[in-house]
Amino acid sequence: MKLAVITGGGKGIGAAISESLAADGYRILLTYNNDSQSAESVISKLRQDGVDCVAVKVDCGRTDEVFILADHPWMQDGVDALVLNHGMYHRSPARELTMNDLQETMDVNFRGAVAVYTALSKYLSKKASIVAIGSQLGIRGSPHGAHYAASKGALHAWARSLAIDIANSGQRVNIIAPGAIDTDILSGDDRQKRKERLKQIPMGRLGTPDDVAGVVSFLCGPNSSYMTGAILHVNGGLFLP
């Protein structure tokens, strides 16, 4: 059976991706860092549906932990889908950005993604699909998240470069740039903030984790076999580059 590895697969968008790829017939190996309860909840649900799955604690900001992930016995059978979904985002004005905040965010969101790919690359199957979860902010920037925007912009550039480099191998790399998705990152919105946010979105609603997960399933499936290096915008029309 095909194996999908989803970093940050235990909650929010990652949980929806784990469930979507499981429905597509993949075994699921998801990673989590702090929220073991959410990760185990996803695993329990999948197992009830007969899915072969496991959750592994990995801090993707620590290269030593990432490379330990490569020792998991499931890797020996090959990885058919790799979804680089983990991330962190702490809001602060761009003008007040500290070097420590920048370093931490880049270590997790960018260097961590590169480390996961590097650690698992020798286990990727010949037609493996790699999907990086970026962000619209990695293209348009953010006045209250310059470090996050920079990390996602770097992720986009690296993933597109990798796509070109390995294109003739049969492996593909694509990027999803979500807009405003209804996850914990927006849980601090008060009523007025949510109203203002919705006004900016032409479709008039927030995205759901399932909206992103469906695109991941497409990118990991045969109907996207001639796509690599693409950035797919899942944002309800909020940002049209």
Query: Which residues have a catalytic role annotated?
Result: 148
CB burial string 50-76: b at 16+ within 10 A, e below:
ebebbbbebbbbbbebbeebeebebbe
Distance, in Å, from the CA atom of 168 to the CA atom of 172, rounded to the nearest integer, reads: 9
CB burial string 104-113: b at 16+ within 10 A, e below:
bbbbbbbbbb
Residue 141 backbone phi and psi in degrees, to 5: 85, 170
Residues 6+ apart with CB under 8 A from 90: 101, 105, 147, 148
CB burial string 224-240: b at 16+ within 10 A, e below:
beeebeebbbbbbebbe
Query: In which residue are the tokens 């915008």 written?
Result: 233
